[in-house]
Amino acid sequence: MIETTTQGDIAVITMKHGKANALDVAFCTALADTFETLKASPARAVVLTGEGGIFSAGVDLLQADKGGPDYIRRFLPTLHRLYETIFFFPKPVVAAMNGHAIAGGCVLACVTDRKIMASGSGRVGVTELLVGLPFPALAFEILRHVVVNARLEEVLFTGTTYEPEAARERGFVDEVVAPGTVFERAMAVAESFAAISPPAFMQTKKQSRQPVADHFRREGAAVEAVVTDIWTAPEAGRTIAAYVAKTLRKKWSCAKT
């Protein structure tokens, strides 16, 4: 499911959860636990990547469809914990985006400190509204933090997925590099971050992300209650099932999104 290796001062986390690194309860828990463990490790920075052509295709909608409201009520807090753990992780985190990053998988890339992707390697975007689902409270605040302000409603409302260069223009990607060089470049960025004083980096990152924490503290619980109601409503079950039938089984043919 997850492989962790070390190269010098850099911990490398490789996601290996099926063909799409779909976000389900077990995978989100394992990935969050891995980052929690790395807080106390000697590693001074982390590179997060996947295998094949998909960084993460987002929430496992097939599991959500099968599990229904009870599963979704367990899943949403687990997803929140994953995003929270990485977004506020005290050490530098670099995403080596090996391929598609869609919906919740796009947000997973956005919680890192630097996002590297190769030209022509996949698409990036948040498609939640196309499934009929609102964004969980913390996920929305992370997107507000990352996406270029003038483009925010475009990416949220249209559900468009973008090629790497267009994704960079919107804030989803920080650097677009030549094919085959994503991991090498991500390691170089991680090494440059690792050379910075850890207390100085940690404090600066905390200050940079404090507005997200403050806004979530004020509004998060109320928003999350509404989001959970919508995700677990009968209408959401129907729209998830319809999206799975129309899109996922045909597109991925691997029981994951």
Selected catalytic residue, list 3, 36, 51, 128: 128
The secondary structure element, H or E, covering residue 50 is: strand 45-50
E-assigned strand segments in 77-228:
93-97, 100-102, 114-118, 124-125, 175-177
Q: How many CB atoms lie within 10 A of CB 196?
A: 14
Of 86, 101, 19, the residue nearest 56 (C-alpha): 101
- For the chain, the straight-line distance linking the first and the last C-alpha, in angstroms and rounded, comes to 16
Rounded distance between C-alpha atoms, residue 144 and residue 221, angstroms: 17
Of 182, 180, 158, 188, the residue nearest 170 (C-alpha): 158
> What backbone torsions phi and psi does residue 3 show, to the nearest 5 degrees?
-115, 130
Q: How many CB atoms lie within 10 A of CB 63?
A: 19
Read off the tokens for 42.
């000697």
Rounded distance between C-alpha atoms, residue 114 and residue 124, angstroms: 15
Q: What is the DSSP letter of 254?
A: S
Rounded distance between C-alpha atoms, residue 201 and residue 220, angstroms: 26
Active site residue 153: no
> What backbone torsions phi and psi does residue 47 show, to the nearest 5 degrees?
-110, 125
Per DSSP, what are the bridge partners of residue 6?
11
Active site residues: 128
